[in-house]
Structure 1
Amino acid sequence: MSKVVRDKETNEDIILDPEKDLNIVLPGYKCHAYISIFEDAINQLAVLADVVPLGFQGTSKDTDKISKVLKNRKIMNFNEDKENENISQMNLANNMIKIQNERNFIHSLFSKTINELKENKFQSLVRTVIDEYDKKNRYKNTINKANEASELLKDLQAKLSNEKILLEEETNERNQVIQQLKDTIQEITTLTASEQKYIKKETKANEASVKGICQKEESALLEKKHLLQKKIEQEQMAHERIVEFLERQRGELEKQIEEWMQKYERDIEDKCQQIQDVQGQLEKDTEEFESLSQRYEELEAKVQEDREQQQQLEYQQKLNELRTEAASKIQKWWRRIFRNKKSKVKTSKKGKSGKKKGKKGDGKKKGSKK
């Protein structure tokens, strides 16, 4: 996997590809040049080690001992001034330890690369660069996460402060409402005590007035009771008399009903006899009606025949009359025609004789002229 690294001096991206870089083989002249550069750097690191105070030189074990001693000193010092001095000394010691560790690390790295460059390779240098780049990225990621967490913490703190302010406002408002309610309750208690006294007096007065009214109503109701009892006794007497009267009426009506029933039976028998007589008379009348209807049909047939004969006679008479009228009209018409013919013949004869006379006269006139 290739990785991109930005150079701080040139601001250019450097692409790191471990698979390719580890397999690179440098030429000999470049390796000698690089070896001389790394040896010069090692000499400069030795000069830096000489510059560092003697107390901070040594191996990593010595640095661990120094850090333990500094921690013990920090625990043992209780005064504030001494603690501040110890903290500054600890910071200085830690910085020097870091410098010493980095110098030792670079010294060992350069020595390894020199040994590898003798074989025309530099794998350890590439690996250390990639590892340091990964460490740096991890450190950046942790810093970014810490910044995000701090921003989120600030937002939450701001929200918490707002919520606290709102809660305080709500509590103040509720306390005010509670105080108002307490005041109203106290006023109500004072009012209820005075109202209770007034109500007791009022109830006593109402009770006395109601008792007087009830006594008056009771006396009036007792009088009504006596009157109603008298009315009930009178009504009972009247009821008994009415019952006796109705019983007498009932006996009389029962007798009348018996008489009417007997009369009803007699009337029914009479009516049945009358019905039988009427039925016999009806049978006789039906027989007479049938005979009369037969006679009527016969007479009606005869009358119909007479009517038809009379109609035929009338029709013949009308035909004869029409024939006579037609014959007379024909005769008159023929006579007129005959007369007209005779008159035409006479006129034609007269005309012919006149024409002949005229012709003779004309001949004479013509001869005289000649």
Structure 2
Amino acid sequence: VRNRKHITKKNEVIHKFKSSLQQMEKLCEDFVLSTQQEAEKQGQSDRRASESQQKHLLEELSGLRTQLNNLLVANHEVEVALRKRKYKVETEIENWIQKYDADMGEKQSELEELSTAYADEQEELRELEERYTILEVEYTQIVEEKRLAKERKEREERELAMKTCASVIIQAYWRGYKVRKALRAKAKKGKKGKGKRGK
């Protein structure tokens, strides 16, 4: 009868441990699900922030492109005007050479100033094109860095969730092991006590 009671108690303890383990597993699953949902929310927030920044950069890039186009149009108009003026000046210089040899030096200076202004504007256009190229490269780098940072964060969150879950399971098994060990020790002690009373 005592053995039956002892076995019944053990069965009850085992049943409790199984129930506790099932609860632990449920808690672990709930924790992982909650972590995944939180990671999803964070990912959506990061995506929205990234999209907002991309929109801002695209707007800034569009503005720069508009400025560049305006400068190109303005430069083209100036270039055409300068070409016309240059042609006019050259024509006038030819006439002046024939008619006024004395004025040739002065007109030549004017032509050189116009050429210098044209060269300066060409240099300014080149600098603007270089700036645009640099901005485009920086934008591409920013987008790539955001993507890599997002992937790294998601990977770290998944690893943390797995480690936390594993830690909870290991702790549950360890507590179960300690309880079983204590029960075995108690059972052995009880058997020894019975033997002494029998003698």
- TM-score normalised to the size of structure 2? 0.39
The structure that is helix-richer by fraction is 2
Kindly name which structure, 1 or 2, has the bigger radius of gyration based on alpha carbons: 1
RCO (CA 8 Å, sep 6+): is it higher in 1 or 2? 2
